[in-house]
C-alpha cells in the first residue's frame, strides 16, 4: 500500500489496447483536433472583441462558452498528445489533482452556460417585450461571472476528498486525463465517501438539464402560437441544432458517471474512453460553427471584412 505522499506521479495510459505503431497517428489526430478547436473558438472571441455590434447578451454567452471550450481542451489535450507523441504519460500527483479539478470545473461551467443560454432563448421567444428589460448586458455579465465562480464549488468537493486520500498501486490511470472515476479506482480502502462527488456531478449536470428541457417546452409552445411561418422555421431549426449538442453533452456523461453505481451497466476501458472523448471534445469542436459562425450577423461581419480587404488590395 502506498500513501499519497509516497506516490509522486501517476501514469496516463490512454487507450490500453492501442498498438505502438499507431501512437504518432493518434497524437497527430489529437493535435489537429486541439488546433482546430482553439482557433475556431478564438476567432469568435476576437470577432466579439473587435465588433461593438456583437456586444449583446446572447453573444456574451457564446464568448463565455468559447473561452470555456478553449480552457477545457488546453487542460485536457496537451498531456494526451505528449502521451502518444513522446510516450510521456507521467503526471505528478498534484498536477493530476489540478487537471481533474479543472476538467470537472469546465464541465460544470459548460452546464451552467447552457442553462444561461436556455434562459436567454426562453425569455427572448416567450417574453419578447420583457426581454430587453430583463436580459441586459450588465445582467448577462453578472450571470456569466456568477457561473464562472460557482462552477468551482462542485468539483471542489472531490478535490478536497482526493487531497486527503491515500492511493494504492498501480498508479496507472486508464483514461485520457485525470478524472474522478479514474482516481477513485486507485484510492486505498473504502470509497463510499466519493458518492458525494457523484451526487455533486449529477446535480450540476441534471439540474440545468431539467431547466433546459422545461424551457424548450415553453419555447415550442410559444413557437406554435406564432403566425409568422418564417419565424417558426428559424426558431425550430435553432432549437433542434442546440438540442442535438445538448444531448451529446449530457446523455453520454450519465452512462459514464453512473456505470460504477449500477451493476447492470458495464463498459470496457476502451469504450469508456471513446465515449468520454466524444462528449468531451466533439461539442467544443463544433460549437463555434453551431452557435456562432452560422448566424447571419457574424456571417455579415465576415463578408464586410473580406470586402474591406479586397478594397484595400485593389486600392
The domain that holds 307 is classified in CATH as 1.20.1070.10
Give residue 217's pLDDT: 85
**Spans of the chain below 50 pLDDT:** 1-5
For residue 228, is it within any domain?
A: yes
Please, which residues bridge with residue 91 across strands? 10
Q: Three cell numbers at 176?
A: 485520457
Q: How many domains does the chain have?
A: 1
* β-strand partners of 187: 167
Quick: pLDDT tens for 115-124: 998 899 888 8
Domain range for 67 is 9-313
The model's pLDDT over 8-36, given as tens digits with 9 standing for 90+, comes to 789 998 888 888 899 999 999 999 999 99
Q: Write down the pLDDT at residue 260.
A: 66
Whether 291 is covered by a domain: the verdict is: yes
- Report if residue 22 sits inside a domain: yes
For residue 169 the three cell numbers come to 498501486
Residue 77 is predicted with a pLDDT of 94
Per-residue pLDDT, 287 = 85
Q: Is the pTM of this model over 0.85?
A: yes
- pLDDT, tens digit, 9 for 90 and up, residues 179-202: 888 888 888 866 565 566 667 777
Please state, as a whole number, how many other Cβ atoms lie within 10 Å of the Cβ of residue 225: 8
Report the distance separating Cα 165 and Cα 185, nearest Å.
Answer: 12
Residue 88 lies in a domain: yes
Give alpha helix (H) positions in 151-260. Answer: 153-163, 180-184, 195-224, 229-258
The reply to whether 3 falls in a domain is: no
Residue 1 lies in a domain: no
Distances (CA, A) of 226 to 132, 234, 285: 20, 12, 34
Closest by CA to 37, choosing from 59, 14, 61, 68, is: 68
* β-bridge pairing 172-173 and 9-12: parallel
Is residue 2 included in any domain, yes or no? no
Cis peptide before 298 (omega within 30 of 0): no
In a domain, 248, yes or no: yes
In 3D, which of 43, 100, 107 has the Cα closest to residue 69?
A: 107
Cα-atom radius of gyration of the chain, to the nearest Å?
22
- CB burial of residue 255 (10 Å; 0-12, 13-18, 19+): middle
Give the Cβ contact number of residue 245 at 10 Å. Answer: 16
Question: Helix crossing, 153-163 with 93-126: angle to 10°?
Answer: 160
Amino acid at each position: 500500500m502506498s500513501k499519497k505522499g509516497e506516490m509522486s506521479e501517476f501514469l496516463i495510459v490512454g487507450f490500453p489496447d492501442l498498438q505502438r505503431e499507431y501512437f504518432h497517428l493518434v497524437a497527430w489526430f489529437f493535435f489537429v483536433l486541439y488546433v482546430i478547436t482553439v482557433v475556431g473558438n478564438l476567432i469568435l472571441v476576437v470577432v466579439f472583441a473587435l465588433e461593438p455590434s456583437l456586444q449583446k447578451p446572447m453573444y456574451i454567452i457564446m464568448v463565455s462558452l468559447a473561452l470555456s471550450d478553449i480552457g477545457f481542451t488546453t487542460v485536457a489535450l496537451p498531456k494526451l498528445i505528449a502521451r502518444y507523441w513522446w510516450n510521456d504519460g507521467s503526471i505528478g500527483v498534484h498536477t493530476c489533482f489540478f487537471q481533474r479539478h479543472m476538467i470537472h470545473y469546465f464541465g460544470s461551467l459548460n452546464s451552467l452556460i447552457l442553462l444561461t443560454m436556455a434562459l436567454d432563448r426562453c425569455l427572448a421567444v416567450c417574453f419578447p417585450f420583457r426581454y430587453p428589460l430583463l436580459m441586459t448586458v450588465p445582467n448577462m455579465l453578472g450571470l456569466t461571472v456568477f457561473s464562472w465562480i460557482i462552477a468551482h464549488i462542485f468539483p471542489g468537493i472531490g478535490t478536497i476528498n482526493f487531497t486527503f486520500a491515500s492511493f494504492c498501486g498501480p498508479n496507472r490511470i486508464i483514461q485520457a486525463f485525470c478524472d474522478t472515476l479514474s482516481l477513485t479506482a486507485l484510492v486505498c480502502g473504502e470509497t463510499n465517501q466519493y458518492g458525494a462527488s457523484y451526487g455533486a456531478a449529477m446535480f450540476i449536470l441534471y439540474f440545468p438539464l431539467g431547466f433546459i428541457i422545461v424551457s424548450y417546452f415553453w419555447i415550442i409552445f410559444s413557437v406554435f402560437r406564432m403566425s409568422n411561418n418564417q419565424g417558426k422555421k428559424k426558431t425550430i431549426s435553432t432549437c433542434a441544432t442546440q438540442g442535438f449538442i445538448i444531448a451529446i453533452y449530457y446523455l453520454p456523461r450519465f452512462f459514464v458517471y453512473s456505470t460504477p453505481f449500477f451493476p447492470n451497466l458495464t463498459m470496457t476501458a476502451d469504450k469508456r474512453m471513446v465515449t468520454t472523448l466524444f462528449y468531451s471534445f466533439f461539442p467544443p469542436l463544433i460549437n463555434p460553427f453551431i452557435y456562432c459562425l452560422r448566424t447571419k450577423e457574424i456571417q455579415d461581419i465576415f463578408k464586410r471584412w473580406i470586402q474591406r480587404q479586397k478594397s484595400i488590395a485593389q486600392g
